[in-house]
Structure 1
Amino acid sequence: MTQTKTYAPIAPHRVAFLGLGVMGHPMAGHLARAGHRVTVYNRSEAKAVQWVQQYGGERAATPAQAARDADIVFACVGNDDDLRSVVLGEQGALAGMKPGAVFVDHTTASADVARELSAVAQARGLSFIDAPVSGGNLGAQNGVLTVMCGGDAEAFAKVQPVAMAYAKAVTLLGASGAGQLAKMVNQICIAGLLQGLSEAIAFGQKAGLDMNAVLGVIGKGAAQSWQLEHRGPTMVEDRFDFGFAVDWMRKDLGLCLDEARRNGARLPVTALVDQFYADVQAQGGGRWDTSSLIRRLLG
């Protein structure tokens, strides 16, 4: 359900937004509605044309052109390689950014690429903030995302009030890479919660319980969570054609498992749930919501 966003009054900034997918399109829209001067870039030009028709602003043919004269350049793309493609090179954003400008990356990517690009930006007199988000497409549409940031405190202070156009919280958690590591913590939590919720609902259904009634009761106790409240009822209804896709979750869990191999953390449940998601993909559910884990248990 779409909500009405109230924007805090701040001075308008000239900003760019790179990547107008299911997250980036509404996020850039909130920046425009908050009064900022927005130039957009998207690899598929048609999406940029559509965005300008909806929100005004300008579109650019390359990331470098979009970034020119911007105080802050935001990006939300697919993965590490996609991020490098819009940041680096003659047509990349860093080539067009003015001294002192800040690049803010909302992609869920590796901590290594955040550190890599931060070093490149710093060498050019620029700043780089890794800032993955949580809240899904509804959070983006309603402007209530949670943003986890890593980078320089001074650069973060410039970004935070602007990013609040599409967020309910924008928090600096440490040096470069800390935002991406925090997002990994988030995804590890969600994977375990959804598997537990799937098993609980499947168990209750096999036992003949009215699971909507049960969820209403246990949601008032220690089992309460966002996933139970928002995804429990749709799991009971066997609806998964919305939300955060299984394909995206597997990408994110892959980042978690890679990082765990580097830092020595043990993620036995996460590794198991990742394979369960592979089973869902094999069922044709790559674009189903992550709550579709329950489909494995209902055969």
Structure 2
Amino acid sequence: MWRLKFGEGGGPWMQTVSDFHGRQVWEFDPDAGTDEERSKVEQLRRTFTENRFRRRESQDLLMRMQLTGNKHLHADMPAATKIEYGDEVTEETLQESLRRALGWMSALQAEDGHWPGDFSGIMYLLPFWIFALHITGSVDAVLSKEHIREICRHIYNHQNEDGGWGFNILDESAMFSKCLNYTTLRLLGEVQKDENDGLAKGRAWILSHGTATAAPQWAKILLSDLQTRSVIARCNSIGDLYPFFPPAITPALTAEGASAAASTTLWHRRLGHIGPGALSKLISSNAISCNKHHNDHICHACQ
């Protein structure tokens, strides 16, 4: 069962000047919770999935369940009062409503004083992380099976009815976020199970809207080297900057080096369909290595 932890952290890779106040992390504990609590979690998941096209926001259901269970509302809290159109709004009614609102907000406040909440509206940030883990070969080292299951659940839950994904959970489908989320599912091991499941609908949306070549520059860059996992360039930070220095000029390429180099066509795609002038400057400065030149070639996406 997942538990939301507040104000915890530490270690050499994470520092803070506020004692981690405001930090929230979900942690999976297979032994946590009672049978009743785990059953309630599954019920909340089913309810959200079944109603995801009517209420797309996460609503923080699991968080609210945990917090309100640990901090029971005041026993003397008045019952909700429903006011019909034309009813008189009295001072007592307003006070009862305010007391209920204050009690509810107090129950949702974390121990360190902040009000936690889910930030899941943007649908293209998570894929960046999964792409980086895949390219560095560290998916299994960083993500547990439970993490992968929840990431996939999140992506499927925010898939639009037409099979695509938007820039955010309320947006219409767009090729950029569609390609990234579909590829993320595949990188995490998802396979098509039938002709009408989420993956099948996602693939059909891509093919019917111009294929991945219709995606904007960021998507093209991210999709360029997933198969080879080759690193285009590395750079070390100097303060807050990440300067890029071309590699040292080396003698003519050996047979081994030539086989590792790429054609101008491939570099054009890797660098987000960069123009021929800029590509020529990178080649002449030895920032990239090419073994074949196709300067007169115009790719399909650039036509």
TM-score, normalised to structure 2's length? 0.30
Between structures 1 and 2, the one with greater strand share = 1
Between structures 1 and 2, the one with greater helix share = 1
Query: Which structure would you say has the larger Rg?
Result: 2
TM-score, normalised to structure 1's length? 0.30
Structure with more contact order per residue of length (Cα contacts < 8 Å, sep ≥ 6)? 1
